[in-house]
A and B are shown apart, each in its own frame.
Chain A
């Protein structure tokens, strides 16, 4: 073997979970194996000694597998590793092969970090480090610095097989998807809501999503865009259910009966009502939105309170304190940005009056809503929901 042929994936926070540790680990192993085997059939994940070994089929693309690990909530880092027989010569040979390929032209310092899971191995960990380090130093001319190295060779000594690596990539961190329960994401075609969904997944939530659609005025391209965004979120949890809730009749009723300048606030109240009912039906424990404080003029504390009071359900707003640039950077990283900026409108961006009211006292809003058959409008949306499993 002259190149890495396996992955070593590490996790952090699940260790903190005390008696639930086993449950979290099982969930994480299951999630990782599901994502990996969907992309690379035949991939297996083993979980000895508090980390995961990813066994890939012959010739499988290591970069694809590494990228999936990076994107799996609960993992903290991943390294492509070379598996060698457990003898010091093989470890040295493996380290030299990796270093020759990966450290060409490198400068500065290095260290070998060795660890034994098989304590019967005749050399101690520092001795393994020293033996490998001598030869790596000879080959590369780098100086040794055990405290603040620029480059690291990792060695893990097992019973029959051992593992050597030089690259370690950071993963998403967080908690395994699913361990926090299900939440319902209000997904629009914009930049923010998919990022909010991702952050909820990162803290262990499994998503359902609801999209408010206004046919025939909102085109199929807008709906396809939202489906594309949902597909970006789906692999982390092995599939995602998107509910397409029709909203045109609600807009028609509001236009017929209510103050034009309150339109946006009223739309939002209806979306929350519909979402809350849907969440209850789907066993979701919270709503999740891409709302942010002050990003647009209507996103004020008062207006958030105006929708919050409609439901007992908790609403997660992971982006509440984000600057737009922070959200955009994250959207780019998780691969939703390019889809989000496609020029197809959703019902929010489209049906906005020229001079929307930025705030209104709750009694004014309620008086407006008293002109509508709120329950019937919500019920009609719920009855006409289309389910798309992506």
Chain B
């Protein structure tokens, strides 16, 4: 048990069966889906079958789903592709992914849009009241995460969508569901969103492929040969599309996966809190408002970065929200800052379980974590 991977919110190890299936399809399905000859038709069949499977998995129709390179591209296409010629307002929660903030800034700098930051509560969730206060008739784009990538807070998107429809009837609602896919129920109709963004590599699928579900017309940012209904130029990689659909199916087929990941998360939290009194959980309490595999803790009196380094040296892979080690300076991630957190609070660690995490790994990880904390306390002034 050398390496224990508890950073599944950053990315996940590829499902071995998906890896094998991918290798086989890379070797055999090489055609360009636009070509009329047999290799082209085979690629096109694989691509479209995968599209159907994936669309069905999220309650959408295949013609509403386009394949992209991943979450960042899907978000960019949703936001920039929704902007049109006239400058207006875009409302963005303060805990969105950097790809959303960057697209908003780009609209502001190049087309005179106004970015309206929408504050979230201390647990990372957006309230209908805060959203309502940020919207008006001039709001044309609203960006909300279904699940926050750092603290695992789950938003009640259907309720928030109702606020958007009544306060900003002309706005597009863009939902970042990257962390949600496979871990919380995802039905694009129930969300009442205009764009929903997902990616394969957060649930043991391959990196390099994501998707965008949309029911509204968009301006493409990658223009080319008219692939993906003209919304995304470039030859599609049919084997990757298969890998995405297969990863989602396999994840869904493992009925016990979600409760298992949640139980392991709870076991880890319990072990940490028992051994390190004063440790607090960031974000909503375990339950319906929190991602089942996400633990985000603050261990007081220590900086985050040296602890993560020591954990890495001990074979425990996690990430920190306190990017700068000098916690006296107090810099933490944008998300934690938006939650009113500060580096002085202590070492912020995000530990995220995956479908392949075992109980033995959790117990060993807790043991090594407690040991690393002790060693850091021996050095840190």
Contacts and interface: CB of A to CB of B under 8 A. Distances in A.
Contact of B379 (A219, A343, A351): A351
Nearest to A258: B381
Interface residues of A, number: 22
A219 B375 CA distance: 15
B378 A216 contact: no
B379 A251 contact: yes
Contacts of B378: 252, 255-256
B324 interface: yes
A386 to B, nearest CB: 15
B313 A215 contact: yes
A214 B325 CA distance: 13
B381 A350 contact: no
A352 B381 contact: yes
B326 A252 contact: no
Given A260-B381, A350-B303, A352-B381, A343 B309 contact: no
Interface string B302-318: 01011111101110000
B151 to A, nearest CB: 22
A263 B307 CA distance: 19
B306 A218 contact: yes
A353 interface: yes
A217 B326 contact: no
Secondary structure of the A contact surface, majority rule: loop
> Interface residue tally of chain B, by bracket?
20 to 34
A265 to B, nearest CB: 12
A248 B313 CA distance: 14
B327 to A, nearest CB: 9
A215 B381 CA distance: 16
A130 to B, nearest CB: 57
Secondary structure of the B contact surface, majority rule: helix
Given A216-B309, A345-B305, A350-B303, A263 B381 contact: yes
Interface string B261-298: 00000000000000000000000000000000000000
Contact of A217 (B309, B324, B381): B309
Contacts of A343: 323-324
A251 B314 CA distance: 20
Given A216-B314, A343-B324, A345-B326, A351 B380 contact: yes
B188 to A, nearest CB: 38
Interface in B32-47: none
A216 to B, nearest CB: 3
Interface in A317-341: none
B379 A255 contact: yes
Contacts of B328: 352-354
Given A353-B328, A354-B328, A252 B309 contact: no
A223 to B, nearest CB: 11
Contacts of A260: 381
Q: Quick one: which of A216, A217, A349, A352 has the most chain B CB within 10 A? A: A217
Q: Quick one: which of A219, A248, A254, A354 has the most chain B CB within 10 A? A: A219
Q: Quick one: which of B309, B314, B326, B378 has the most chain A CB within 10 A? A: B309
A248 B379 contact: yes
B376 interface: yes
Interface in A206-257: 214-219, 248, 251-252, 254-256
A57 B308 CA distance: 51
Contacts of B379: 214, 217, 248, 251-252, 255, 351
Contact of B376 (A217, A219, A263, A354): A217
Nearest to B303: A350
A217 B310 contact: yes
A138 to B, nearest CB: 50
Given A248-B379, A252-B379, A255-B380, A350 B314 contact: no
Contacts, number: 58
A349 B325 contact: yes
Contacts of A345: 305-306, 324-326
A352 B62 CA distance: 56
Contacts of A349: 325-326
B4 to A, nearest CB: 15
A260 B305 CA distance: 20
A369 to B, nearest CB: 16
A217 B323 contact: no
Interface string A337-366: 000000101000111111000000000000
A377 to B, nearest CB: 14
A354 B326 CA distance: 9
A57 to B, nearest CB: 42
B310 A216 contact: yes
Contact of B325 (A251, A256, A350): A350
Contacts of A353: 328, 381
Interface in B331-375: 372, 375
B337 to A, nearest CB: 16
B143 to A, nearest CB: 27
Contacts of A218: 306, 309
A52 to B, nearest CB: 47
B326 A350 contact: yes
Contacts of B375: 216
A191 to B, nearest CB: 16
Contacts of B381: 254-255, 260, 263, 351-353
Q: Quick one: which of B312, B313, B378, B381 has the most chain A CB within 10 A? A: B381
A217 B326 CA distance: 12
B309 A219 contact: yes
A112 to B, nearest CB: 50
Contacts of B309: 216-219
Contacts of A352: 326, 328, 381
A166 to B, nearest CB: 42
A350 B313 contact: no
Contact of B305 (A215, A248, A350, A354): A350
Contacts of A263: 381
Contacts of B307: 217
Given A217-B379, A353-B381, 10 more contacts: A217-B306, A217-B307, A217-B309, A217-B376, A218-B309, A252-B378, A255-B381, A343-B323, A351-B379, A352-B328
28 contacts: A215-B313, A216-B309, A216-B310, A216-B312, A216-B313, A216-B372, A217-B306, A217-B309, A217-B376, A217-B379, A218-B306, A218-B309, A219-B305, A251-B379, A252-B378, A255-B378, A255-B379, A260-B381, A343-B323, A345-B326, A349-B326, A350-B306, A350-B325, A352-B326, A352-B381, A353-B328, A353-B381, A354-B328
In the complex, the 8 A-B pairs of residues with the closest C-beta atoms, listed nearest first: A216-B313, A217-B306, A219-B309, A353-B381, A345-B325, A350-B325, A216-B310, A263-B381
